[in-house]
């Protein structure tokens, strides 16, 4: 079966795509107060996430270009989700106090 150029390009991207994330913090905070009388916030933190291409023997590095299967090894350290119902609004705080 012949592969189209789009399929080859997609496979090439999957073979070469590697992702590394360090110290990610995504937070959402309400602007107005809730029925509780104060704002709340929730968020996600990731200390370390890495996704790399490997061989079927978990050897890190280049794989054969005509390989039909792409192996990805993923590693994650310290994933946290939080919900804070007693937060102070950070909207009016100085930037240095927020970070």
Between β-strands 41-54 and 71-84, what pairing exists: parallel, antiparallel or unpaired?
A: antiparallel
For residues 11 and 89, give the distance between their C-alpha atoms in angstroms, rounded to a whole number.
46
**Which pTM does this prediction carry?**
0.64
For residues 6 and 68, give the distance between their C-alpha atoms in angstroms, rounded to a whole number.
15
User: Which has the closest alpha carbon to 71: 60, 82, 83?
Assistant: 60
Q: Are 19 and 51 in contact (CB under 8 A)?
A: yes
Q: pLDDT truncated to tens, each residue of the chain (99 aa)?
A: 566 888 888 888 888 888 999 999 998 888 766 666 777 889 999 999 999 888 777 666 666 666 667 788 899 999 999 988 877 777 777 878 766
């Amino acid at each position: 079966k012949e592969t189209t150029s789009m399929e080859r390009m997609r496979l090439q991207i999957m073979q070469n795509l590697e992702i590394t994330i360090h110290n990610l913090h995504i937070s959402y905070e309400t602007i107005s107060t809730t029925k509780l009388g104060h704002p709340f916030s929730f968020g996600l933190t990731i200390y370390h996430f890495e996704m790399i291409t490997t061989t079927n023997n978990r050897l890190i590095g280049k794989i054969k270009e005509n390989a039909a299967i792409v192996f990805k090894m993923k590693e994650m350290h310290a994933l946290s989700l939080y919900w804070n119902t007693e937060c102070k609004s950070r909207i009016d705080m100085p930037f240095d106090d927020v970070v």
